[in-house]
Amino acid sequence: MADTDTSAACALLLPKIREETAKSADAGTCEGQLEKAEVPEPGRVRQIEQYGQDAFVEFESDTVFLTVSEGGWKVTAAGCTANGEAPYSCEIGGK
């Protein structure tokens, strides 16, 4: 990702997730961690489901979880893959 892409992506994260992402990076920044993360190009949207103030978007190659926050919808997890009966495994957030 280009710097502007990672900055924009970090701005879409729920503030708590953005802070956790920054703390998990060697560089100490959200942008640095997103550079290292193996988040695939999502492809086309397959399904969108909303449950109250939470939602997920299933793409061809990715699943993203969202929640309503101040300022609108924010990403709580991205780069997620299903693990059968177990919870999703996510590159960003989702803990």
Q: What is the pLDDT of residue 95?
A: 61
Average pLDDT of the residues of the chain: 87
Q: Kindly report, residue by residue over 3-45, the tens digit of the pLDDT.
A: 458 899 999 999 999 998 888 767 678 998 888 887 878 899 9
pTM (2 d.p.): 0.85
| All structural domains of the chain with their residue ranges | 3-93
Neighbouring C-alpha atoms within 13 Å toward the C-beta of 16: 9
In angstroms, rounded to a whole number, what is the distance separating the alpha carbons of residues 78 and 58?
Answer: 10
